[in-house]
Structure 1
Amino acid sequence: MRRWIMLPLALVLAGTGSAVVPLAASAATPAAAVTTCPTGWGSLPKAASGTGGQHALTGIRTGQQPCFDRMVLDIPGASSSALVGYHVQYVTTLYQDGSGKPLPIAGGAVLEIVAVAPAYDPATGSPTYPAHAGQALPGVNLAGYSTFRDAKFASSFEGQTQVGLGVRARLPFRVFQLDNRLVIDVAHSWSATR
């Protein structure tokens, strides 16, 4: 009688054992997916002329993408018919507009971002963005970012706002405008894949 109990038990265990092998094999991690990233941005200065400081900066925020880190300057009223002037370039030292004071920015390279949009209401002089010269950008936390290392408000002087963005290294970047915002993307690498 024991044979009859042991034989079905052995068959069940043998069947279970063979079922485990394919499950374990199918649970193996596939090779990492390759992301194709945009290329051709370059690291030379980028600039555009605009309507001249009639729209005020109200916020700065950042985000992470698979191929780049992004900074967005919120400028309500800016649009394709009311472009914001800007100048974005790598600098060895960021000098604050107006005072000429050097501002330390952490990172392997520093992007100077100048937008022709004051951080105050041009009509009243009231602040529209609560930042202080030489200080970190309010509400921006760059912990865990692949490329961004530091971001500081430099100044808002004579109708334009200056921001320092510390990045890991001198990497390709692009600048473009959408309604109500100016966007700066800095690539994670020079290659087209990640």
Structure 2
Amino acid sequence: MKARRRAGLAGLLLAAVALAPAAVSAPSATAAPSCGITWGSLPKDTGVDLGSGPITDVRSGRHGCFDRVVIDISGDAGDHRVRYVSTYRAPGSGAALSLRGGARLEVLVGNPTYDPDTGEAVYDPADRANLVDVTGYDTLRQVRLGGSFEGQTSLGLGVRARLPMRAFVLDGPGAGQRLVVDVAHRW
């Protein structure tokens, strides 16, 4: 009796293996990473307080799951607001500014591009419409300086589509801080 049960169980196992789908192979080197992004596309807003130092640089980077914009600040970062807008506008004048891509992100930073004590420019890029070269990026299409007004600075990010994004502040370099804005490659 035991021999029949074993033979029956063995037969069932063989049948189950035969009917099971083929084994899944390891992902290829070109497969997209599994990102598990849960950021969403709603505004990221910390308030309206101004920081203690001016913006000194804007740079960007490409990652496996997102494109990144980094805003370097020589002191403490002020509050920030990052949100999708239908039209990106210059601070103060309200003039519409064009951005490449299917969606527009407005990044409002509580730090100016000038020295608050002297009024002299600290961050004065050669091309305000193209702060960084985003050629070949998956999501970013343009990073534009809208301007500084009343101690705050506005940047516009042209992105491929309305995608999840996040914003946060990190310490450094040196005694300063940096505002980081990440925009995901996909939902």
* Contact kept? 1:60, 1:73, Cα under 8 Å: yes
Q: Write out per-residue CA displacement over residues 5-54 of structure 1, whole angstroms, 9 at most, x where no aligned residue.
A: xxxxxxxxxxxxxxxxxxxxxxxx97345522142100000111365232
Q: Which runs of 5+ in 2 are unaligned?
A: 1-25, 172-176
Distance 2:179 2:49 in 1: 14
Indicate the residue corresponding to 1:121 in structure 2. 115
Is residue 189 from structure 1 mapped to residue 182 from structure 2 by the alignment?
no
Q: Which moved more, 1:42-51 or 1:87-96?
A: 42-51
Is residue 95 from structure 1 mapped to residue 95 from structure 2 by the alignment?
no
Change (3 A) 1:50 1:178: farther
Indicate the residue corresponding to 1:160 in structure 2. 152
* Contact kept? 1:118, 1:157, Cα under 8 Å: yes
Indicate the residue corresponding to 2:68 in structure 1. 70
For the pair shown, the structure with the greater C-alpha radius of gyration is 1
Change (3 A) 1:92 1:51: closer
TM-score normalised over the length of structure 2: 0.78
Q: Which runs of 5+ in 1 are unaligned?
A: 1-28
Distance 1:149 1:131 in 2: 18
Is residue 107 from structure 1 mapped to residue 107 from structure 2 by the alignment?
no
TM-score normalised over the length of structure 1: 0.75
Distance 1:39 1:62 in 2: 19
CA displacement at 1:151 relative to structure 2: 1.3
Indicate the residue corresponding to 1:31 in structure 2. 28
Change (3 A) 1:132 1:71: same
Is residue 85 from structure 1 mapped to residue 73 from structure 2 by the alignment?
no
Distance 1:164 1:66 in 2: 23
The CA RMSD over aligned residues, in Å, is 1.9
Indicate the residue corresponding to 1:173 in structure 2. 165
Indicate the residue corresponding to 2:134 in structure 1. 142
Amino acid at match of 1:64: R
CA displacement at 1:84 relative to structure 2: 2.1
Q: Write out per-residue CA displacement over residues 162-189 of structure 1, whole angstroms, 9 at most, x where no aligned residue.
A: 0000000000000011011000000000
* Contact kept? 1:57, 1:75, Cα under 8 Å: yes
Distance 2:33 2:126 in 1: 38
Amino acid at match of 1:92: S
* Contact kept? 1:133, 1:155, Cα under 8 Å: no
Amino acid at match of 1:97: P
Distance 1:132 1:115 in 2: 20
